Amino acid sequence: MIRYQTIKVAGLDIFYREAGAKSKPTLVLYHGFPTASHMFRELMPKLAQDFHLIAPDYPGFGQSSAPDHQHFAYTFAHLSQIMTEFLQKLKINKFFMYVFDYGAPIGFQIAVAHPDWIQGIISQNGNIYQVGLGEKWAQRADFWNKPTEEKRNRYRAAFAPETIKKQYTFGTQPGSVGPDGYTLDIAYASEGEAYAQRQLDLIYDYQNNIKQYPMFQKYLRTYQPPLLAVWGKNDPSFIYPGAQAFKQDVPKATVVLLDSGHFALETDSAVIADLIKTHFSEN
């Protein structure tokens, strides 16, 4: 059974999903863009016998508070800080983490600051390597280096309905992706200008995640956490060499490439659940 809960963190309501017995190893699930913790709706029941699962919505996403961007810094450093305080409120200081998309810089910032908290890592299309950046990132570099309001507004296309649906379906077999996930994401993205401004702030701030890639990689080399990189190999945003690159820093890492796209959980949740249980659950 999944439980749906909200907790106060730094004056914000942080929504999270919880499943499994607290006596089991904890696995914290960090979602990506433009989604929220509902992306784990099929994975959590498959892991609830083996893990205590926690899947939060970040501020500005899903069911969590979404303060105005003029009064709240929508940066990855700030989201990482809120997620750190969230874990501390729940008294969680030993856990495995699943990182996807935006969840990678958030999770790895927490890991760098608190390496003793991390028992293992599952990276599903959660990139921390230059070689894992697809072609679109060159265009974003131009925006970051020479930002203008016109360039900023072009990125409204990133959360247009057709873009969101394509993120889910590109690189997958026809008919293999249900409409539930992208339909809910489209609904959230339709909230209006407040949603647009906070997401545009995060798109601009993403440049700081790339600057931290060497720090994330140093963390891996230093601490050698057990690591499973499972990747939708047809993802055009975070391309599969980013999965293979983990073995440079964690030679014992397991890398699995799936015939899927960016949202590989939509097509391969059962496969990913089995891989996680094989690598990390108590037997």
What is the structure's pLDDT at 283? 41
Average pLDDT for the chain: 97
What is the structure's pLDDT at 282? 57
* Percent over 90 (pLDDT), the chain: 97
Tell me if 112 sits within 8 A of 215, measured CB to CB: yes
47-89 pLDDT per residue, tens: 999 999 999 999 999 999 999 999 999 999 999 999 999 999 9
> Taking Cα atoms as reference points, which of 141, 138, 136, 131 lies closest to residue 249?
131
What is the structure's pLDDT at 139? 87
Going by pLDDT thresholds of 50, 70 and 90, the confidence category of residue 5 is very high
Q: Is 52 a residue of the active site?
A: no
Q: What is the CATH number of the domain that holds 133?
A: 3.40.50.1820
pTM of the model: 0.97
What is the structure's pLDDT at 39? 98
Total domains in the chain come to 1
195-228 pLDDT per residue, tens: 999 999 999 999 999 999 999 999 999 999 999 9
Tell me if 203 sits within 8 A of 74, measured CB to CB: no
pLDDT at 281 over 90: no
Q: List the catalytic residue out of 71, 78, 262, 279.
A: 262
Residue 230 pairs in a beta bridge with 256
Going by pLDDT thresholds of 50, 70 and 90, the confidence category of residue 150 is very high
Mean pLDDT of 12-35: 98
What is the structure's pLDDT at 134? 93
Q: Which domain holds residue 56?
A: 3-280
Mean pLDDT of 4-26: 98
* Percent over 70 (pLDDT), the chain: 99
